[in-house]
Amino acid sequence: MSEISMAQALNAALRDAVKDDDRVLIFGEDVGPLGGVFRVTDGITADFGEERCFDTPLAESGIVGFAVGMAMGGFRPVVEMQFDAFAYPAFEQITSHVAKLRNRTRGALSLPMVIRIPYAGGIGGVEHHCDSSEAYYTHTPGLRVVTPGTPQDAYDLLRDAIDSPDPVIFLEPKCRYWSKEPVSFTREGAAMDRAVVRREGKDVTLIAYGPMVATALETAEAATAEGWDVEVVDLRSLSPFDDETVAASVRRTGRAVVVHEAAGFGGYGAEVVARITEQCFHQLHAPVLRVTGLDIPYPPPKLERHQLPDVDRILDTVARLQWNDEPVVAGA
Q: Provide the CATH number for the domain around residue 304.
A: 3.40.50.920
pLDDT of residue 126: 82
Give the mean model confidence (pLDDT) for residues 287-314: 95
267: containing domain: 196-320
Residues 150 and 280 in one domain: no
Give the mean model confidence (pLDDT) for residues 162-179: 98
Q: Does residue 104 form part of some domain?
A: yes
Residues 267 and 151 in one domain: no
Sequence-ordered list of residues with C-beta below 8 angstroms from that of 301, at least 6 positions apart, any chain: 124, 125, 126
Q: Does residue 170 form part of some domain?
A: yes
Q: Does residue 166 form part of some domain?
A: yes
Of 157, 183, 209, which closes a domain? 183
Residues 147 and 265 in one domain: no
Angle at 87 between CA 23 and CA 68, to 5 degrees: 30
Could you tell me the pLDDT band of residue 159, with boundaries at 50, 70 and 90?
very high
pLDDT of residue 332: 39
Query: How many domains does the chain divide into?
Result: 2
Sequence-ordered list of residues with C-beta below 8 angstroms from that of 159, at least 6 positions apart, any chain: 13, 16, 17, 187
Q: What percent of the chain has pLDDT over 90?
A: 94
pLDDT of residue 270: 98
H-run or E-run covering 24: strand 24-28
Catalytic residues: 129
Q: Is the pLDDT of residue 331 over 90?
A: no
**325 or 307, which is more confident:** 307
Residues 172 and 217 in one domain: no
Q: Is the pLDDT of residue 328 over 50?
A: no
Question: Alpha helix (H) ranges present in 21-116?
Answer: 44-48, 60-72, 91-93, 101-104
Instruction: DSSP letter for 41, please.
Output: T
Residues 9 and 153 in one domain: yes
Could you tell me the pLDDT band of residue 325, with boundaries at 50, 70 and 90?
low
Give the mean model confidence (pLDDT) for residues 119-128: 91
d(CA 102, CA 86): 26
